Each structure stands twice: as structure tokens, then as C-alpha cells.
Amino acid sequence: TAAADMLISASMDLQTKLVNDGHALAHRSAQTEALPAWAQWRHEVFGISYEPVAIVYNTRKLAAARVPRTRRQLLALLRAPDAPLRGRVGTYDVERSGVGYLFATQDGQVG
């Protein structure tokens, strides 16, 4: 059976499930003890960075005044009658991307 010392993945929900299913050992060190509470689970899985999420847009296609600054503004722009974003939005496939699924579930909790 193959074993690994460390697994790095953007799909923290899946890694937490592996920990909860008993597939990890606890690790304590001065470095892990210095982490904030949100960055570790049972001393078995650790968050080592923020997951980058960004909106990128073409300044020639969308005026700066219309660029959404909040989630509600983005939703309003997606629903706008002139449909400036139709056919121009890309996102994670929540059926294929663990991190995409995680973002979708977090979005659902935020509302």
C-alpha cells in the first residue's frame, strides 16, 4: 500500500472527509499550534493558503461603472435586460471540481 507524508489539495471539503473517515494522523508542532483555529481540523488537516477566487473582465466590453462590487450587483448584472454577460461567464463545474462544489455550498450558506 502506498503512503504519503503530505497531501496538498484545493478541495478542503474532500480532505476533511478523508480525515473524518480515519485516513490521517494528527500532527502537532510549534508551526501548527500558531495557526488560527479556522486553519486546522483536529490537527489532521491544515489550511495553508486562501483559495484564490477572482472576477476577471474585459474593460472594452464592460464599462467600469457596471463592474459589480458585491454579489448582489453581480446577480443584477447577470439578470440585466441588455444581458452584457450572456455567453461570457465561466465558472467551476460543481460536478467535476471539488473546490467548485465547496464554493457553491458556501455560496448557498451565505445566501
Residue 71's pLDDT is what?
Answer: 78
Better-predicted residue by pLDDT, 95 or 20: 20
Residue 49's pLDDT is what?
Answer: 76
Q: What is the pLDDT of residues 37-90, one digit of tens each?
A: 888 999 999 987 776 677 788 888 889 999 998 878 988 999 999 999 898 888
Q: Where are the domains of the chain?
A: 12-46, 54-85
DSSP string covering 43-99? TTEE--SPPP------TTTS-GGGS-SSHHHHHHHHH-TT-TTTT------TTT-HH
Residue 20's pLDDT is what?
Answer: 94
Has this prediction a pTM greater than 0.85? no
